Chains A and B, each alone.
Chain A
Amino acid sequence: GQSLEQPSEVTAVEGAIVQINCTYQTSGFYGLSWYQQHDGGAPTFLSYNALDGLEETGRFSSFLSRSDSYGYLLLQELQMKDSASYFCAVRDRGYGQNFVFGPGTRLSVLP
């Protein structure tokens, strides 16, 4: 079956850098996505990694190591508006190639 693990909460201060980790077990891995969700809002897409390495999009970067079944989201120059929940999601061949979402990491950015 599938399982994804993320830390439940992370706290950091404005301007800092924070890393949110995601480890996974799948029946067949196709890719790892990250989504952001503010309280009461809809999830919004941040990034997708199909191959090993780092993908950078502005202040956000996402990393994947398929051999370690591990990825992370790196947020730089934190801003108050980055306070939200962050979900990793793995596309799993054994799951009809659909995405399986992790439980989410709640990030609190303090002034």
Chain B
Amino acid sequence: NAGVTQTPKFQVLKTGQSMTLQCAQDMNHNSMYWYRQDPGMGLRLIYYSASEGTTDKGEVPNGYNVSRLNKREFSLRLESAAPSQTSVYFCASSEAFLGNQPQHFGDGTRLSIL
């Protein structure tokens, strides 16, 4: 079982470049999330999609956009990368948005912006 798959695993960008992080889940989950994790810190929510067709801002959405392409896929786009966006990005999914629903995480994308 693949679970949640993120691509790429590593990426180095120059300031001002754009890129899209891909995320796909094969568990038929309704809800998907993008987090960032900075060294020694917890996860901070960037955007989420409670169900297919909806997306909403999380705690730190500035500088990012998302697309819920279909039920399986949820992508995160950096339009003009900045050094402050250097971080590890995790995609997660859950069967439903509310209730006792564990989030299943991908292995992360380690992004460095020079």
Contacts and interface: CB of A to CB of B under 8 A. Distances in A.
Interface residues of B, number: 24
A41 B6 CA distance: 13
B48 interface: yes
The 9 closest A-B pairs by CB, nearest first: A45-B102, A101-B42, A42-B105, A101-B43, A48-B100, A43-B105, A103-B42, A42-B107, A102-B42
A99 B97 CA distance: 10
B43 A96 contact: no
What's the interface size class on A, roughly?
20 to 34
B43 A41 contact: no
Interface string A14-46: 000000000000000011010000000111110
Nearest to A50: B100
Interface of B: 33, 35, 40-45, 48, 56, 58-59, 90, 92, 97-98, 100, 102-108
B107 A41 contact: yes
Contacts of A89: 42-43
B102 A97 contact: no
A42 B106 contact: yes
A95 interface: yes
A87 interface: yes
A69 interface: no
Given A98-B45, A103-B42, A104-B41, A45 B103 contact: yes
